[in-house]
Structure 1
Amino acid sequence: MTFSIHAASAPVFINALTNMRAWLDKAAAAKPEGVLTEARLAPDMLPLTAQFQMASDSAKNAMARLAGIEAPAMPDTETSFAELRDRCDRTIAFVRSVDAAALTGAAEREVVLKFPNGTGYRFDGAAYLTEFALPNFFFHAVTAYAILRAAGVDLGKPDFLQHLGRPEAIAG
C-alpha cells in the first residue's frame, strides 16, 4: 500500500481540529470566555480566535489547493467559543468531503501561493503539503494550545494527542 497525499493530510487535519475543538470545552470550564478569546502569547501576536481561524484556513485551503477545487469561504468573524467550535466543525466537514480520489496526482500538482505584497511561493503538491501547509497549520494549532496553557487552562500532551485515545498495554 502506498502512502498518499490524502492519508498525509485529511486525517491529520481532522484529528488536530477535533482536538482543538475539545480544548475549548476545557477552556470554558476554566476561565471567562471573553478573557481567553482575546488572549495572546505576546503583544505582537494574534489572539486565540485568530489562531483557530488560521488553523482552519490552513486546513481547508490545503485540501482545496491539493484537490484543485475552491475552499469554502469562512469570514473571520468568530468571537465566542461556540462560534470557534462551529468553525472547527465546518472545516472538518469540508476536509472530510474531499474524497481521496480528488487528490490523485496532487503530489505533482503545482500550487502557487501569492501574498498581497506581490511575493509568494511555487511548489509541487508534495512539497506544498510537507514544507508549508502542515507546518503552517501546526504553528497555529500549537500557538492556540500555548495561549490556553499560558492562560491557566489545564491542558497537557494527552489533550494535544487525544485522537489517539488512551495508550494500551503492550507486552514484551
Structure 2
Amino acid sequence: MSSLYDISIPVYTDITKTAVSILKKGEEHFKSQGKDTAELLKLKIADDMLPLNMQILIIVMTGRKLVERVANAAPVDTPINQEYTLAELQGLLDAQLAELAKVDRAQVDGREQTEVPCKFGPEEYKSSALDYVSGYPIPTGYFHLNMLYALLRGAGVPLGKRDYMAEFMKKMTKA
C-alpha cells in the first residue's frame, strides 16, 4: 500500500529530475543553434501565458511548499519575482532535488490527516495533507512540467515522449 511519502516526495522528485533533464536538452539545443539561452527563458505559447522561466520557478516553489507542508519542514525563501538566469534556475532545481532527498519517510507518513494550508493565487484553502498532495502539488508539478516540455518542443528542441517519461519509468523493469 502506498503511503503519503510514496505519493508525494518520490513523485515530485521525478517531476523535478525531468525538468532538469529537458531543460538541459533545451540549453544544449539553443547553444548548438547559436541562440542566446536567455531567449529560452522568455518562451511562451500565448501572450497571456507565463514564460518558461516562470514554469520552472513554479515547479520549484510548489516542491518547496510540498516539503514544508507534508514534512512539516521550515520554508525555504525564494523570491518568485526575481529574474533568474538559466544557470540560477538550474541551481534552484538542483537545490530542490537536494531538499527533497533530505525528507525522511518518518517526517511524512502518519500526517495524512494533518490539516495543511494551500494558496492558489489570491484564494486560500485548507485540507488534509493527503488531499493537498493529490489536489495541488502533484497536478501543479505535472502541469508546469508539461508546459516546460511544450515550450521547449515548440522552440524546436528535439524532445520526445521518452525524454519526458524516463524518470517516471526508472522503477519499471522490462518484461
- TM-score w.r.t. length of structure 2: 0.87
Q: How many residues of Structure 1 are paired with residues of Structure 2 in the alignment? A: 168
Q: Any stretches of 5+ residues in structure 1 without a counterpart? A: none
For each residue in 1:128-152, what CA deviation from the matched residue of structure 2 results, as whole angstroms up to 9, or x when unmatched? Answer: 0011121111111111111111111
Tell me which residue corresponds to 2:77.
Answer: 73
State which of 126, 140, 147 in structure 2 corresponds to 1:143: 147
1:7 lines up with 2:6 in the alignment? yes
Match of 2:64 in 1: 60
Residue deviations 1:83-141 (CA, integer Å, cap 9, x gap) = 12111110111111111101132210101224674x32121111100111211111111
Equivalent residues in 2 for 1:23-172 (5 A)?
23-31=22-30, 32=35, 33-76=37-80, 77=82, 79-114=84-119, 117=122, 119-163=123-167, 164-165=169-170, 169-170=174-175
Name stretches of at least 5 consecutive residues in structure 2 with no aligned partner: none
Assess if the C-alpha contact under 8 Å between 2:38 and 2:86 holds in 1: no
- The answer to whether the 8 A contact 1:78-1:84 is kept is no
Identity of aligned residues (%): 28
Cα separation, 1, equivalents of 2:157 and 2:79: 27
CA RMSD of aligned residues (A): 2.0
Return the offset for 1:12: 0.9
The answer as to whether partners of 1:24 and 1:81 remain within 8 angstroms in 2 is: no
